[in-house]
Structure formats: structure tokens, C-alpha cells
Amino acid sequence: MVLTQLQAWLKSVKQILFLLIWAIVACTPPMNLNISEEDLAVEIITPSIVKSDDGYSTILTTDPLLTGLDSLSRIAQQPISWATLLNSIHPELHDSTRTMFGDYLTETLTNKMLYPSLTHIENKNNRSVITYSVDTSVVLPQIRYSLSKIEVGAPMEPLFDRDGNMPDFSLINPTSLLILPCEGLYIPKKASRLPNAPRAYRAGVHRGIDFFSNWGTPIRAVADGVILRSDLYYNEIPAEFRANILERTTTLGRTPSDIFNNILLGKTVFIDHGFDLFPGFRAITIYAHLSHIIDKIKPGYKIRRGDIFAQSGNTGTKPSTMGTREESHLHWELILQDAKGEYYFGQNLPYETLYPALKSIFDY
């Protein structure tokens, strides 16, 4: 009796479930079996990365799930170069000058300024567009300020200037060509080794040519003249004293003549070439960082063009004060004086004019 009733109840439940399922199916609209290929296609977005025209920004594009974001963001956050920033400020700069200023900015400013940061995210046309940029509102003024401190247009010794006009060194030629101070070593092409190059470590500007030579390379007079200064008995200064003295240049914002001439030149020879070599000017040449000077080379000694009088070294440099022979080179300057002031040859000339002007005074 009980079993018969249970079977009847289960049959009733099955009928009710069937009726519910039928009702649901009947109320459901039929599926559209006419599906086009376009409806079935799924857009595949390939992650991409693009630099802006000015080089300051990098734009990443990927799908809403940010596929490939980690690898692309590492690329986007790579620092830009100082050369890129300099190009927007001084697009006319020669490549060598731009490289030189880049080296100077590396020494004086923090490289953190060069790293792009995430500045914008948006979803556009089913894409995620992410922008990384360098804050030019901060870095460009800093660059302009740093470069403004390189006063290549000022006279070499401001205390002795008489408001004279800067000579156009591209138009000044010697009555007879000079010989190179180191035989076989020609004028370097790098702007950082030529006049007007910034020297961040002493808040100053380079005044001459750096001929990178091996220790002990013979040095010769570029023209006839008379010895003015000869540091035959030079003793290298202590490293700590040199470092303390250089702190004064940072405080002053320039290299004063006493520190430059008495500390940084090391063992040095000055030669006076008189007024005939460059008409209208008194000419002096300076040979610095020497390792040895011949005994007879004393003030008043008349020296002839081509006479060997010393050997190259690194005195006056930081490596020398540390007891090493690293960075051996000859620092050579040509100073011109007139009634209104004195200047180093090539002062205030842009690289494109400077290098040809320097070559024009030597007998290659």
C-alpha cells in the first residue's frame, strides 16, 4: 500500500518537472542560426610601444587585460639621453659639443631627471593606452641654468679686463705657422679636449688643448720665444689639500686665476713669444702637467721653434696627487693679450668654427 502511493507521487513529480521545462523552452526565443563571420571574429590586439616625435614620451598600447605590460613598461621607463634634451634647447649644436655638454650635465645634475614616469592611462576602442613621460617642466629649466654658468664669453682674467671686445679668433692667423707641441700628436676632434669645454669639477671652462700622450713624451716649443716660468723644482701638492682648494671654486662658481695657475697646472712652462707672432697681440704659450723639465730651461732662456724642453706627465691632476701616472697628457694653451684684456685662443667660438681655427694656426 505504501509503496504504491510512493510510486504515484514520483510519477506526479516527473509530470510537473516536464511541464516546467516545456514552459521554459516554449518561452525562450529561438536562437539565430544565421551568424556572420564578422560576429564570430575576435579582435586580437598585439601589444606595441611607440616613442613620441620629441623623444620625451613613450606610448604603450595593449588589450584591456594589459597583456605584455611588464616587458613593455621596462622599455618605456628606460632613461632618455641628455643629448635628446639638449637638442630641444640648442638644436644647432655640433654632435661633439652636444656630447661634451651631455658629459658636463651628467656630472652636475642627477640622472633621475631622465627617467620617464607613468603620466596617463585610458581605455580607447577596446584598447589600454598607457603613457610614460619625462617631466620637461623640471628638467629643461635645470639644464638651461647649468649651461648658463659656463661663461665662455668672459675674459680669461676678469680682474685685468678693460671692457675690450672679444677678438674673432677665426680671423687671427700667426705670421708663421706653429709646430705641434708633441710630434705626431694632432689636435683632437673631441670638443671636451678643446677650448671652451666645461670643467664641472672646478666650476670653470677649459682654456686649451689636451694632447693625450704617454708619460714622458717629448715636448717642444711651438715657436721662438723666451721662457717666463719654469717649475724646475715643482713638488706635487697633497691630495687632501688639492680637494680642499677645489671647494673654493664651487663656492665662487668659477675657477680663480691663483688656483688655476698655481694648483691645477702642475709642473708648467710659460713661453713669451712677443708681439710679432700674432700682430696686434702679445702671445704666450703654456705647457702644463709636465713630468720633467730640462735643467737649462729657466726664466730668460731664449728657446727656438722645435726645441725639446720637457716631457709630458700628469702633475697637478688628482691621479698625480694619489701617486699614480694615470691621465697623462699635455695641456697646451695659447694666450693673446692686447691693451684691453687677455684671452685664450678660440674663446667663445662654436665647435664648427673652433676646430678649423685651431688647425689653421699649426703646420700639419
Residue percentage of the chain with pLDDT more than 70: 84
Q: What is the pLDDT of residue 207?
A: 94
Provide the 10 A C-beta neighbour count for residue 200.
17
Q: What is the pLDDT of residue 157?
A: 64
pLDDT bracket for residue 203 (50, 70, 90): confident
Provide the 10 A C-beta neighbour count for residue 241.
11
Q: What is the pLDDT of residue 13?
A: 45
Q: What is the pLDDT of residue 10?
A: 45
Q: What is the pLDDT of residue 40?
A: 41
Average pLDDT, the chain: 86
For residue 176, pLDDT over 60 is answered with: yes
pLDDT bracket for residue 264 (50, 70, 90): very high
Distances (CA, A) of 62 to 41, 56, 86, 132, 285: 18, 20, 32, 14, 63
Domains of the chain are 48-147 (no CATH), 154-360 (2.70.70.10)
Q: What is the pLDDT of residue 156?
A: 63
Name the least confident of 88-97, 241-250, 270-279, 289-298.
88-97
As a whole number of Å, the end-to-end CA separation of the chain is 129
pLDDT (mean) for 36-54: 71
pLDDT bracket for residue 275 (50, 70, 90): very high
Q: What is the pLDDT of residue 185?
A: 93
For residue 212, pLDDT over 70 is answered with: yes
| R_g over Cα of the chain | 37
- Tell which residue, 97, 161, 109, 170, has the closest CA to residue 134: 109
Which range, 109-113, 136-140, 191-195, has the best average confidence (pLDDT)? Answer: 191-195
Question: Distance from CA of residue 180 to its chain's centroid?
Answer: 29
For residue range 320-339, what is the model confidence (pLDDT) as tens digits?
Answer: 999 999 999 999 999 999 88
C-alpha span between 231 and 234 (Å, rounded): 5
C-alpha span between 53 and 57 (Å, rounded): 8
pLDDT (mean) for 65-79: 89
For residue 239, pLDDT over 60 is answered with: yes
Residue percentage of the chain with pLDDT more than 90: 54
For residue 260, pLDDT over 60 is answered with: yes
Q: What is the pLDDT of residue 12?
A: 57
For residue range 5-42, what is the model confidence (pLDDT) as tens digits?
Answer: 545 544 454 445 433 433 443 454 554 445 454 444 44
Q: What is the pLDDT of residue 20?
A: 44
Burial 327-350 (b: 16+ CB within 10 A, else e): ebbbbbbbbbbbeebbbbbbbbbe
C-alpha span between 152 and 87 (Å, rounded): 20
Residues 269/261, Cβ–Cβ less than 8 Å: no
26 burial via Cβ count (<10 Å: 0-12, 13-18, 19+): exposed
For residue range 112-125, what is the model confidence (pLDDT) as tens digits?
Answer: 889 999 999 998 88
Name the least confident of 50-59, 162-171, 320-329.
162-171
